[in-house]
Amino acid sequence: MQVRAKAGVSVTGLGATTPLGGDVPGTWEAMLGGRSGIGPIEEAWAQGLPVRIAGRMAADPAGVLGRVAARRLDRCQQAALVAAREAWADAGAPAVEPERLAVVIGTGVGGMLTTLGQDDLLEASGARRISPYTVPMMMPNGPAAVVSMELGARAGAHTPVSACASGAEAIAMGLDLIRLGRADVVVAGGAEACLHPLTFAGFAQAKALSRRNDAPAEASRPFDAARDGFVLAEGAALVVLESADFAAARGARAHATLAGAGVTSDAGHITAADSAGQVRAIRLALSSAGLTGADIGHVSAHATSTPLGDVTEAESISEAVGAHPAVTATKSMTGHLCGAAGALGAITTVLTLREGVIPATRNLNDLDPRVKLDVVTGRPRHGHWTAALTNAFGFGGHNACLLFTTPQSDGGR
């Protein structure tokens, strides 16, 4: 399974809108403060549902973009555009030829709110009431399309749709595009906005969601012995990737280096995770970066708070990396952003390396004895790490692992 190590790429821009904040600084500050972005759903449509808690974006993207622009975009697309603008500005708006700029934005379901909302309208009021923007708003490639048009990206606008691994897989694809010489700059990540009765009902029937309706802030409990499922959330997270030469030539600041990535598929159960596939993804990321498990000081775990998934991932980390890295699970605060989750994990991993601090896992009162990891809890942990991993796994057996190092770092070797 050896993969020849290749040059990493610079991470020069970060952008996000999440249940903890409308941008990256706000989200990061809330994480370090151990705050929860989970709250009750109080609208009438949720009252008959078995699950009535979620992680809504802290800042309504329609309010940020303006009502006129927002009317033509699904909420998922709105979130992506907000995150893209922040990431692009954070990178210093690189002066890159349009034919050398690409966009890769993954999603789990894309414009689901538009699809279901317009279908309800069709049944209630007839075809003449349907919005002429329905199809562009419901397309899964909508977020990538609107961001590519916003930035004038003509080297490709791609959309990995791999459930909860989508955002991380998009970043892995961005790495490949630059390494293959198809682009100098790539805006990559994930977006999701699917808080709808059908989603809650479907996940609840699969017994995947926490039912702690009376204690929303305590519901997401990764690695805790009393966890009972994940909390559905929404948002977007994007990074700007640049070839090291391009970034250096323009004097860009690099938050971190994306040194490697691993993407695998289980070809097994549609919902149950497979440790073997996860281990392969982690090892591929290590190999592509030219590092070993001993070089990794931190892991941002996928850890959604499901009874089976958290243990499976803990076993995978232990086998592929070892028990020494400091591990965190930020979904304890944000909930599960599905298609955007892996990209948000990437951003928090980059910030951990840059700032030298790991956010603590919230709600971890009783570590599951089967989890043989050093999970950061209680308060943030300060230190110096030169290499870190972030994991993202999705229904359908999708596994994606990203490896980041400090800028110009050799991983501590």
List, by residue number, the catalytic residues: 164, 302, 336
CA–CA dist 299, 279 (Å, integer): 13
Rounded to a whole number, what is the distance in angstroms from the first to the last CA of the chain? 22
Rounded-to-integer distance, Cα 363 and Cα 380, Å: 14
**Distance (Å, whole) CA 242 – CA 91:** 10
Instruction: Quote the CA–CA distance of 230 and 301 in Å, as a whole number.
Output: 14
Euclidean distance between CA atoms 195 and 186, whole angstroms: 29
Contact 210, 305 (CB under 8 A): yes
- Show the tokens assigned to 195: 């808080």
Cα 332 to Cα 161, 219, 229, 303, 386, distances in angstroms: 24, 8, 11, 9, 25
Contact in structure between 172 and 263 (CB atoms under 8 Å): yes
Of residues 160, 162, 184, the one with CA closest to residue 170: 160
DSSP-assigned letters across all residues of 249-280: HTT---SEEEEEEEEEE--S-SSS--HHHHHH
Contact 413, 295 (CB under 8 A): yes
Distance set, CA 94 to CA 31, 105, 129, 152, 199 (Å): 29, 19, 42, 12, 38
Contact 264, 281 (CB under 8 A): yes
**Is there a contact between 1 and 285 (Cβ–Cβ < 8 Å)?**
no
Residue 2 buriedness (CB in 10 A; 0-12 / 13-18 / 19+): exposed
